[in-house]
Amino acid sequence: METIELSVFDHGAQHTEILRALLDVFEARQHIKVHLDVIPWLGSWSRMVQVALYKDGPDVSEIGSTWIGDFSNMNAVRAFTAEEIHQMGGASAFLKPSWQGAGTQSGLHSSDFTLWGMPWLADVRVIVYRRDIYEQAGIDLNAAFKNQETLEHTFAQLQSAGVEVPLVLPTLRSRIDLHILASWIWAEGGKFFDPLQERILFDQPEVLRGLARYFGLGRFLAPAARGLDDLTANDSFFNGHAATVIGGHWLLLDERIRKNFADKIGVIGVPPSSFVGGSHFVIWQHSRRASAAFKLIEFLAGSDTPLDLYPGFGFPTRLDAIARADFVKDPNWNAMIQAAAHGRTIPVGRLWGMIEKRLVDLIPVVWHEIFATENPEVEAIVSRRFTAVAERLRLTLHA
């Protein structure tokens, strides 16, 4: 019997056992044995880089959506063929942002698109809020989240109503913070970079306006809501201390939400568009079992994708799977799906891996400077910090 290796991130013991049972079904159907390697989130990037460099390891891997550009540039992953794409249903079978984030665009035409990863799990940044606290503060939920200006008005209204922590965000090193602030950049018509012309753009006036507005939210972060990482920011909301948090699907899965105030929360996309990420399946170039590897991907991410996987692993990128899934009948999950359907992703390009790392390193530095100053000049801090990093990156690229 042919044997292949699959690596996935650690989605929790319970969900991993569900996956193991499904792989047994696949083995019985296809007579292909799958060795499952579960990789902890912490250190997963380094592990995948080792696989790419040494050309040794899994045949198929789940990788983060923003990693596609790095591994395709390293010639470490194999592009999907036109026939394979057809078998999976093509672009129209998937959430648009998920498909766009799984490949690279070398020109202006659709034929210039190369698919390096097969979309599997979608994740979207959404606003999750305490409906009861908002209503007690007299906030009109139909108007609270229309744009960045109304968001600021909403948080100010919560403060005036005596809500101690109207908003909580991760302000220590976090990729999630970068994904959240993307919406503020898009609201001003900006973008981080141009993947076709390979131009860095995050120091342009429209981007700096969006960044200044985002970091201006610091005035709504109470002392207890500063200096938090992803987990502690979420904990502040789960434990009932914060009225609003911005995050992903994991917020709806936490037992504390279901136990304490499941009927008191609301979910809505971040205006004007939420960041959509998630994970894709890639077939590594070193694999000598590409045909078997694709059969596994087709089983897990194709038109008959097992619904047992969702929403524990995330939610599916396939539209037909979303239509079949029971969990989307819940209003909050449905709101999350709608945010993903109308969301955006950051285009895959050769520069993104480097840009992402620099920005993830920079964001907590900016927050620290803002919090350390009694009356911070946010626009000046943002302009100075982001312009300096953009200039250094350009020098690196030209060198």
Predicted pLDDT of residue 260: 85
What are the angstrom distances between the C-alpha of 63 and each of 74, 294, 346?
A: 15, 15, 16
Predicted pLDDT of residue 399: 64
Task: Report how far residue 57's alpha carbon sits from residue 63's, in angstroms, rounded to the nearest whole number.
Answer: 14
Task: Give tens-digit pLDDT for 25-75.
Answer: 999 999 999 999 999 988 899 999 999 999 999 999 999 998 998 999 999
199 has which bridge partners?
A: 194
CB of 166 closer than 8 Å to CB of 155? yes
CATH class for the region spanning 2-123+277-333: alpha beta
Strand order in the sheet with 126-130: 244-247, 126-130, 265-269
Domain ranges of the chain: 2-123+277-333, 126-274+349-398
119 has which bridge partners?
A: 280
61 has which bridge partners?
A: 7, 282
Is 126-274+349-398 in CATH node 3.40.190.10?
Answer: yes
Same fold, 2-123+277-333 and 126-274+349-398: yes
What are the angstrom distances between the C-alpha of 313 and each of 124, 172, 214, 301?
A: 13, 25, 30, 12
- Residue 1, SS3? coil
Q: Of 248, 157, 211, which is closest to residue 390 (Cα–Cα)?
A: 211
95, 249, 357, 209: CA torsion to nearest 10? 80
Q: With a cut of 70, which residues of the chain have pLDDT below it? A: 399
Task: Give tens-digit pLDDT for 387-399.
Answer: 999 999 998 877 6
Task: Report how far residue 275's alpha carbon sits from residue 190's, in angstroms, rounded to the nearest whole number.
Answer: 14
Which pTM was predicted?
0.94
